[in-house]
Amino acid sequence: MSKKANNGFKEIFPRKNYIVGFPRIGEQRELKKALEAFWSEKTAFSEVETVALELKARHWNYQKEAGIDFISSNDFSLYDNMLDTAILLGAIPKRFRGLTDEALYFSMARGNKDTVAMEMTKWFNTNYHYIVPELSREDNYALNATKIINEYKEAKALGITTKINLIGPITFLGLSKRIDRGDTYELFGKILPLYKALLAEIATLDSTLTVQIDEPIFVKGAEPKVLSLIKPCYDALCAVSSNINIIVTTYFEHSNEATKVLVHTPIWGLGLDFLHGEKNVESLERINESGKKLIAGVVDGRNIWKNDITKTAQLLESIATVVHKENIIVSNSCSLLHTPFRLKYEEKMDADIKNWLSYAVEKLSEVSLISKLFFDGEASLNEDERKALNANKEANTLRANSTRIHNKAVQNRVNNFTKLVRDGNYEERIKIQKDILGYKDLATTTIGSFPQTPEVRKARADFKKSAISKEEYEAEMKAYIDDCISFQEECGLEVLVHGEPERNDMVEYFGEQLDGYGFSQNGWVQSYGSRCVKPPFIYGDISRPKPMTVEWISYAQSKTKKIMKGMLTGPVTILNWSFVRDDMESA
């Protein structure tokens, strides 16, 4: 293997590990509570700012105390990082102009009495949602780097030198929309100068800086239009200042097509996801020949399972057979935004299952321990680190062999599964609909769930706390079902639903009745803005020990002569809204 100089950039100091990004909502959802109190006019915006300052400081210190070398600033947001980038670039839709500060920011995100909010959609294949910037050829963009500069200085005042995280210009354009129906990439010439001006401002902050530029759009394939922008973009950005080390980061899949181009630009390093983008190994030889740093994403940033350190060490050693070890930096695969905050608050969880899990704070220690093991060897570990390594090995061994995970009866059913064939053809089913059920060609129904009233929610909460009996709870639910049926019959619907008052959540309700499904007490993950969800997790082979909905549907059907349809959350939705197992090969 040839060994090239690393593009002439200065090393700040030897750095061996790296965190792509960190959750921001707070371990007790402090930011959510502060935002919602402000929105409901119970507190002033200054209270939100105070909470934000406290959270940023706490999160930086958690990473510092864990031994993380590369810690981010500007990964924090009061609502969304794509929205922050729109503000940064002055990409303000006309309907919001005239507003300033927090009124402008939150109106773009949430709307106000005079204007509708900007569109929101999923961030790649995650359950996080971002604000979609609105662009137009008529827009005049202008840089506002205040947030970025202030956060860097806040960390510096705490004795922490951060890397600065940015959404990359190509990804920003690719995920935006043109309100004048043009191609967003046509605006590249208007956006790139703003990024150059931004880096020029950043360059004045310190003698040497690291800037992480996120370009996840590169994992979406080899679109010629996108590939053609990469080299002119990063040649121009790297030319701004010799004291900025630029790292281009991708995640969620491989980005080999983009890597082929990036290695021929003056960037300092590449951040790649080796867990959800296994094919990134195909780019290792190119990266090695370029002499660039490889930020190796080997700790899962979007799942909750304890890392198998032995397995990860093997992966890193495999990477090191191609890329020089001194050019490798150990990292998580993507921002930890997609994981819950900290296991400390899981006080009610089964101890065995909890021992298999790792949330964001725990993943910091994993990255730190793995990097020390990889670079310095097991002999370099102190007593606490050695105990942590042994505990990790023991937990993974217990999980691999646990009968709570491996259900032979379920495995036998899966192995003997044969393709299902639907009985009857279309004409026969239509005949049943018309002749037996008496339905017209277009029978009417509703999707399923009716609004959950305060009384329904209170009854469910009281029953969960044992404040009311099972009989009292069921009486409240049945009364609501009766009302739902009466309302639908008055409306003249043909196929009825029972309203689902007994269901707390469309996934959680079914998961709680399945073996192999787990639930957290404080496993909150940000979905958008202040909205947090608490995804269940699949830890073992799934089985259904008893009927799940028959009792409620049977009661509802007994109250009407019309057909009462059963309502089930589909398996694909349940899977996509849950943390899934990482100990099975993909189908």
**Domain map (residue ranges) of the chain:** 17-401, 426-523+537-576
Closest among 515, 507, 517, 512 to 568, alpha carbons compared: 507
Q: What is the pLDDT of residue 417?
A: 86
For residues 567 and 573, give the distance between their C-alpha atoms in angstroms, rounded to a whole number. Answer: 13
- The pLDDT of 112-132, averaged and rounded, is 97
**Tens-digit pLDDT profile for residues 480-521:** 999 999 999 999 999 999 999 999 888 889 988 999 999 999
pLDDT of residue 1: 37
Q: CA-CA distance, 145 to 139, in Å (whole number)?
A: 19
Q: What is the total residue count of the chain? A: 587
pLDDT for the residue 5: 40
pLDDT score at 585: 62
Q: 299's torsion region: left (phi>0), alpha (psi -120 to 50) or beta? A: beta
Tokens of 352: 């065995």
Query: What's residue 222's pLDDT?
Result: 75
By percentage, how much of the chain surpasses pLDDT 90?
Answer: 87
Q: Return the pLDDT at 405.
A: 92
d(CA 282, CA 584): 23
Beta strand 328-332 with 537-543 is unpaired
Model confidence at 6: pLDDT above 70: no
| Lowest-confidence pick of 123-127, 382-386, 427-431 | 427-431
Lowest mean pLDDT among 27-31, 196-200, 223-227: 223-227
Compute how many other C-beta atoms are within 10 angstroms of the C-beta atom of residue 494.
Answer: 15
Q: By 3-state DSSP, what share of the chain in percent is helix, strand and coil, each rounded to 5?
A: 45, 15, 40
- CATH second-level architecture of 426-523+537-576? Alpha-Beta Barrel (3.20)
- Spatial distance between the Cα atoms of 283 and 53, rounded to a whole number of angstroms: 40
Common-topology check for domains 17-401 and 426-523+537-576:
yes
Point out the least confidently predicted range of 93-107, 147-161, 428-442: 428-442
Amino acid identity of residue 400, one-letter, is A
- Give the span between the Cα atoms of 170 and 179, in whole angstroms: 18
- Integer Cα distance of 315 and 218 in angstroms: 23
Backbone angles phi, psi at 543, to 5 degrees: -145, 160
Domain 17-401 belongs to what architecture? Alpha-Beta Barrel (3.20)
Q: How many helices (H) and strands (E) does the chain have?
A: 21, 18
What is the overall mean pLDDT for the chain? 94
- Burial of 569 from C-beta contacts in 10 A (0-12 / 13-18 / 19+): middle
Of the chain, the percentage scoring pLDDT greater than 70 comes to 97
Contact 72, 48 (CB under 8 A): no
Residue 564: enclosing H or E segment and its boundaries? strand 563-564
Q: Which residues of 53-83 are buried (b: 16+ CB within 10 A; e: fewer)?
A: eebbeebbebbbebbbbbbbbbbbbbbbbbb
Residue of 221, 227, 277 whose CA lies nearest to 254: 277
Helix (H, G, I), strand (E, B) or coil at 72: strand
> What integer pLDDT is reported at residue 14 of this predicted model?
65
